[in-house]
Copies of this chain bind each other. A is one copy, B any other.
Amino acid sequence: MALDHDTLKDLYRKMVTVRLLEKRVEQLVMAARIPCSGHFGLGQEAVGVGVCGPLRKEDYLFGTHRGFAEYIGKGMTPAEILTEYYGKATSLSRGRLGQHLLKPEIGVMPLPSSLGSEFGMAVGAALSSKLRGSGRVTVNLFGEGTAGQSDFGPALEMASLWRLPLIFVCNNNQYVELAHYREVVATEDIAPRAGAYGVPYEIVDGNDITLVYQATERAASRARQGGGPTFLEFKTYRRCTHYTGDPGGYQPKEEIAAWAQKDPIDRCRRLMMAQGLWTAADEQAMLEAVSAEIEAAVQFAEESPYPDVSTIYEHIYA
């Protein structure tokens, strides 16, 4: 079944925003305007955006370090992201978070520096929803490398035991830093590990935004109906290097080229065009609008002041 038109257009625009924003952030990091390194997800935008598509504003998202897609997907704006990356006083955290984007108001929950430390936290958020009957769903997004981390098993165990409204989403982009994932992951697929804990799973083409959306929608509705957790593994591919400081070279050119053919944004655009929902003029207008939004955000971030040093003494304890 196809997604409704507005949904598709919205997802498309978000994917494009992610792509343009990532490129812009890369420039700004390289130009030393942004002090952190950047982790980008060229070619895997459909996962984060598609997963957030069927979520409600109040649903909880634990996203990733390569997470522009899910943060934009969940509703953060380029300005919110850029001011954090710049470390400016106008950011939601007044310069404290950097890459660790957070906006609990719209369900964007902590991104721990230490990969895997979100597993327990996501269980806790889901437990909290369940006990309070809030109807909220929690999504825990992570890479296939992170699935090797210690608290992965306990999180599956608890989610399964307590039938938590928790969706595990493994973004399998086939690389773990500078190595192909099979150098450090024992199996082709991660999802059957969830099955062994009694958590139902699906393995889905992560470059097809419709499939990503729909799989997540099924999982979310199961969760809301008290059916417990689901594990989704999305197969995709990282067409860029690990981070801005990584010269790359370890990904076969043919592999990259083959996946470029499956680019999720191109696929979505072709689909919309084939359905007559989208024209070259729409594309042009949208690109301009998104670019303008990003440029305005860059300018805002650039012009924003750094936080006052005296703020470091605030909120040490609650």
Binding site for B on A (CB under 8 A): 148-154, 156-157, 160-161, 184-187, 192-193, 195-198
Q: Which of B150, B152, B192, B197 contacts A187 (CB 8 A)?
A: B197
Give A151's nearest chain B residue, CB to CB. B150
With contact pairs A196-B192, A198-B186 given, residues A154 and B160 touching in the complex (Cβ less than 8 Å)? no
Tell which of A161, A185, A196, A197 has the most Cβ of chain B within 10 Å: A196
A160 near B187 (CB under 8 angstroms)? yes
- Chain B's nearest CB lies how many Å from the CB of A316? 30
Q: Which of B150, B151, B197 contacts A186 (CB 8 A)?
A: B197
- Chain B's nearest CB lies how many Å from the CB of A126? 14
B197 near A193 (CB under 8 angstroms)? yes
Sample (22) of A-B pairs whose CB atoms are under 8 Å apart: A148-B153, A148-B154, A149-B154, A150-B150, A150-B153, A152-B153, A153-B193, A157-B185, A160-B186, A161-B185, A161-B186, A186-B197, A186-B198, A187-B196, A187-B197, A187-B198, A192-B196, A193-B193, A193-B196, A193-B197, A195-B196, A196-B196
Complexed CA–CA distance, A149 and B187 (Å): 21
Complexed CA–CA distance, A165 and B184 (Å): 18
Complexed CA–CA distance, A195 and B149 (Å): 18
Which of chain B's residues have a CB closer than 8 A to the CB of A184? 161
Which of chain B's residues have a CB closer than 8 A to the CB of A150? 150-151, 153-154
Q: Which of B157, B160, B186, B198 contacts A156 (CB 8 A)?
A: B186
Give A191's nearest chain B residue, CB to CB. B196
Give A195's nearest chain B residue, CB to CB. B196
Complexed CA–CA distance, A152 and B154 (Å): 9
Which of chain B's residues have a CB closer than 8 A to the CB of A195? 192, 196
- Chain B's nearest CB lies how many Å from the CB of A294? 40
Which of chain B's residues have a CB closer than 8 A to the CB of A154? 148-150
Which of chain B's residues have a CB closer than 8 A to the CB of A185? 157, 161
Tell which of A152, A161, A186 has the most Cβ of chain B within 10 Å: A186
Complexed CA–CA distance, A316 and B193 (Å): 42
Give A120's nearest chain B residue, CB to CB. B150
Q: Which of B157, B187, B198 contacts A148 (CB 8 A)?
A: B157
- Chain B's nearest CB lies how many Å from the CB of A142? 13
Which of chain B's residues have a CB closer than 8 A to the CB of A186? 156-157, 160-161, 197-198
Complexed CA–CA distance, A161 and B179 (Å): 14
Complexed CA–CA distance, A125 and B192 (Å): 28
- Chain B's nearest CB lies how many Å from the CB of A174? 16
